[in-house]
Amino acid sequence: MNAFAGFVSMVGAEWRKARGRGLAWAVLLFAALHGFGAVAMLFLGQRMEASMKEDAVDSLSWLVSGELAVSVVALPVQGLALLLLFSMIFAEDFSLGTIAMIFVRPVPRWKVFAAKATVGIGVAFASASIALVAGLAAGLAAFGTAGDLTQIGAETPFFGWLGGYAGGAWTRFALIEAGALTATLVSLPLLASAALFGSLLRSPVGALFGSMMFLLADAGV
């Protein structure tokens, strides 16, 4: 029990460091903007379709906006913000020299890095969840719940599956919520690369650019 409480206190200390510099709040705010931006994209698309078709069918609902919000928050734009935060979490103690004071304490080194990883994963999940909540709330206000989802083509990017899915509204809602977990999993390679380059280069900037080059090379391969 004491070991678990000690680990929780280490996680809390890592969170306070990330929060104290304001970057964690900026990342979470940026995630919320993804949710609102998704609804704005859908709203503008709906207006454009209505102007081109006199018999346009209302196919949008809050579920569509929630799914699009989760999809866009998993894209590399938010990923870059998360990578910046991860680089700071893992490399800042090295760059400031405080890691030496941490390692002289009777605490296994893996727990230090596990606490950092826990904060990183927590922020990634919070980002996806905040984007989802923002998308659902704004979508509920903009589109309501009565959209005819069957009018959505299966080829539609990001949320086309909603049109052909045979399950009910609450099953769709549960799958969309599960998308927040998927968006979190997408961030794990970013976390791993930031941990690696942060430990090797011992600089947040070096960890950021090292991770970016590594991930770009991986994408190219």
Q: Are 131 and 30 in contact (CB under 8 A)?
A: no
Distance CA 82, CA 122 (A): 11
Question: What is the chain's pLDDT, residue by residue, as a tens digit (221 residues)?
Answer: 577 888 888 899 889 988 877 889 999 999 999 999 999 999 998 888 777 776 656 778 899 999 999 999 999 899 999 999 999 999 888 887 777 666 667 778 888 889 999 999 999 999 999 999 999 999 999 998 888 888 888 788 888 888 888 778 889 899 999 999 999 999 999 999 999 999 899 888 999 999 999 989 988 88
Q: Nearest CA to 158 among 195, 184, 127, 183?
A: 183
Could you give the 3-state DSSP secondary structure of residue 82? helix
Q: Are 183 and 74 in contact (CB under 8 A)?
A: yes
Non-local CB neighbours of 193 within 8 Å, separated by 6+ positions: 83, 210, 211, 214, 215
52-71 confidence digits (pLDDT tens): 776 656 778 899 999 999 99
Distance CA 110, CA 184 (A): 22
pTM value > 0.75 = yes
pLDDT of residue 50: 74
Q: Are 71 and 158 in contact (CB under 8 A)?
A: yes
Question: Which token pair is 85?
Answer: 């935060």
Q: How far is CA 61 from CA 29, 53, 95, 116, 163, in A?
A: 24, 19, 48, 38, 12
Cα 42 from chain centroid (whole Å): 20
Q: How far is CA 71 from CA 92, 132, 191, in A?
A: 30, 9, 19
Q: How far is CA 143 from CA 33, 58, 63, 168, in A?
A: 18, 9, 9, 18
8-41 confidence digits (pLDDT tens): 888 998 899 888 778 899 999 999 999 999 999 9
Distance CA 38, CA 67 (A): 9
pLDDT of residue 210: 93
pLDDT of residue 37: 95
Q: Are 133 and 70 in contact (CB under 8 A)?
A: no
